[in-house]
Structures are given as structure tokens and as C-alpha cells.
Amino acid sequence: MTTLGDYLLVSGILFSIGFAGVMVRRNLIIILMSLELMLNAANLSLVAFSRFRVGPDGLPNYNAQVFVFFVITVAAAEVAVGLAILVALFRIRQTTSVRDISSLKF
């Protein structure tokens, strides 16, 4: 029987992989993918909480699941915008490495 802890463990591992990816990878596309991974880790834990929190009427708490739909929608929009920026950036700089994109520093 899988418990809430198992779901949260998977969610935590996913989040850590995503965070590590954002931190260490230089390629912007990989970083965006890692971001998605982190978002989905959060979604997973939300759904898990929803499923394991059953109200007195025997139904799970749907608030978290509704929230997950919002997150997925926003993530889709974010990816669209992020990829658009990335394409525009690549056209100017001919690169997707974050090392070469540091002109906003002081």
C-alpha cells in the first residue's frame, strides 16, 4: 500500500532533480525543462495531499486538484513565453548558454 509519504518522497526527489538541473545546467532549454520538473513535483504533492485528505462525506478535498489545473495552465503559458524569449535570444546571440548571457549584471 502506497502511503502519502511515498508520494511526497517521489515529489521531493523530482523537485530536487529539477532544482539541481536549474542550478548546474548551462543550457537554457534544459533549465526550462528542469523548471517544469519542479512544477510537476509540486503538482504531484498537491494531488497526493488531495487524495489522502478525505472529508467526512468520503470524498477527497478537491481544492488542491483544482489548484493543480491552474498550475498546469500557467506552466503552459510560461513555457510558451519562455521558449519565445529563448528563440528571440538565440537569434541575437547565437547561443543558449547562460554563461554568455550576463549583460544585465552591474
Residues that bind another protein in the complex, under the rule CB under 8 A: 19, 22-24, 26, 31, 98-99, 101-106
Nearer Cβ to another protein (94/103): 103
The distance of closest approach from Cβ of residue 37 to another protein in the complex, given in angstroms and rounded to an integer, is 14
| Rounded-to-integer distance, Cα 80 and Cα 84, Å | 6
Nearer Cβ to another protein (22/79): 22
DSSP notation for 41-83? HHHHHHHHHHHH-B-TTS-B-THHHHHHHHHHHHHHHHHHHHH
Nearer Cβ to another protein (24/66): 24
